[in-house]
Amino acid sequence: MCSPSETITPVKVSDCETNYDSSASWTTTLKYVLSAAFLSVSVLEFSLWFPFVLPGLTSAAAKTYIPAFFVYDDEHTKFDNTPWTYNTDYLLTTVMSILAIQCILARSDDDQKNQRSLRLRLYSASLLICYAISTLAGAWAHQHFLSVESLNTSRFRMFWFVCVGNVSFASCYMGLIGREVQRHFGVSGAMHMGPWWFWPAYGCYMSLTCGLGYISFKRPACDIFIAGCTQFPSTFYCLAALGIRKWPQQNSKKVAVGKETSIELVSPMYRAIYYIGFISNAPLLPVYPILVQYTDMTLGGVNTFLHTWLLLAWGMQGISLVHLCKAVSNGERRVGAASEKQQYSGGPALIYSIIMAPLALMATDYARMSFS
């Protein structure tokens, strides 16, 4: 019994909710930390395994992808120093820088809309700047490191880490772009956005392993292809973020000029450019060993061909991202309809299946070799 002078302090429901939310928040954070760790480690392992199991390319890959850990020799090391290689790298640097500036400048006269598009513009520009820094460092290395002895120096290692490390870290900005694309154009609930730090953690891990020499081969160009292979989860995340929805028909509904939503301002042509730009780098992984092992092309010719391919692929990424930035900067804020949420209820399962399928294939192959 409480005496009349005693007071009972009621338990606030909000306090209970706060404790519960705090516990749930820690559980969710731990889940994403473990997910980021698992994805980072398994994708790196997959990227180092995948070139050697492509049908018909096992022998070519074994001759091409020889681990180096930044130690090079006269027998296996091939590093081109011709103008065709470094000049096309400089061209890539110039074009990517111009597209990055265009993303930043993809503004409107409405400050509120510009604020809404700011993160997409910054992430898009950052991705393109990663490409520009990578090709600038690569061009300088190809132009100035002219012997195997010079490749075995800390100076070359620094330049090549900048070159390959930026490609490795580009997954960070791809993933962040995917989050913003999902936020502005995606169907609510069709894709899990996750915490903002998930993709930076993934990119940092890939860059760290690059710096430690795990993505280092006797042919330094091979480093780029393995680093590019680690981008496949963030690439598919970007593709799914824009692709998992039903887009309004251009002539199905007349909207007053200036009143269109961001979704209605995205044209089918630029969506196609976006999809092609993000997926078109995939063929380079099998193409490279074919070109260097089974053709008579010079290294300068091979590099020029590959850089031209990159110019088209990265250029399409940049052009489409500029368009998306302008759509957010000029469009009205969309209001998600209830019917929209039912379009792709299986979106998360789809993207998880796409990412996990190759990892499961790798695990199966490792298990088979272990028991054989």
pLDDT digits (tens, 9 = 90+) for 150-207: 999 999 999 999 999 999 999 999 999 999 999 999 877 777 788 999 999 999 999 9
User: If you average pLDDT over residues 302-308, what whole number do you get?
Assistant: 97
Please check the confidence at residue 9 and state whether its pLDDT lies above 70.
Answer: no
Average pLDDT, the chain: 87
Q: Is the pLDDT of residue 360 over 90?
A: no
Amino acid identity, position 371: F
pLDDT for residue 260 is more than 70: yes
Specify the pLDDT at position 342.
Answer: 53
Q: How confident is the model over 254-273, as a mean pLDDT?
A: 82
Q: What's the pLDDT at 24?
A: 60
Mean pLDDT, residues 297-317 taken together: 97
Helix (H, G, I), strand (E, B), or coil: what is residue 146? coil
- Residue 8's pLDDT band (boundaries 50, 70, 90)? very low
Take residue 362 and report the two structure tokens written for it. 């790798």
Choose between 317 and 335: higher pLDDT: 317
Compute, in degrees rounded to 10, the torsion defined by CA atoms 52, 317, 271, 345. Answer: 60
| 304/255: higher pLDDT | 304
pLDDT band at 361 (very low <50, low <70, confident <90, very high): confident
Task: Give percent above pLDDT 90 in the chain.
Answer: 70
How far, in Å, CA of 42 to CA of 359, rounded?
7
Mean pLDDT of 230-246: 91
Q: What is the pLDDT of residue 248?
A: 76
Q: Which helix (H) or strand (E) holds 302?
A: helix 299-330
Tokens, residue 274: 């976006």
pLDDT surpassing 60 at residue 20: no
- pLDDT at 283 > cutoff 80: yes
| pLDDT of 1 higher than 60 | no
Q: Is the pLDDT at 33 greater than 80, yes or no?
A: yes
Residue 138 CB partners (closer than 8 Å, separation 6+): 86, 89, 160, 163, 224
Q: Does pLDDT of 5 surpass 50?
A: no
Domains along the sequence of the chain with CATH = 36-248+260-332 (1.20.1070)
Which residues does 292 contact at the CB level (< 8 Å), separation at least 6? 64, 78, 219, 299, 302
Whether the predicted pLDDT of 255 surpasses 80? no
- Across 151-167, b (16+ Cβ under 10 Å) vs e yields bbeeebeebbbbbbbbb
Q: How confident is the model at residue 18 (pLDDT cuts 50, 70, 90)?
A: very low
Task: Report which of residues 249 and 21 the model is more confident about.
Answer: 249
pLDDT confidence of 245, banded at 50, 70, 90? Answer: confident
pLDDT band at 247 (very low <50, low <70, confident <90, very high): confident
Question: Pick the residue with more confidence: 82 or 3?
Answer: 82
Task: Output the DSSP codes for 257-280.
Answer: TT--BTGGG--HHHHHHHHHHHHT
pLDDT at 370 over 80: no
In this predicted structure, the answer to whether residue 6 has a pLDDT above a threshold of 50 is no
Question: Which residue from 206, 199, 198 is spatially nearest to 227, judged by alpha carbons?
Answer: 206
Q: Report which of residues 362 and 204 the model is more confident about.
A: 204
Mean pLDDT value of segment 114-132: 97
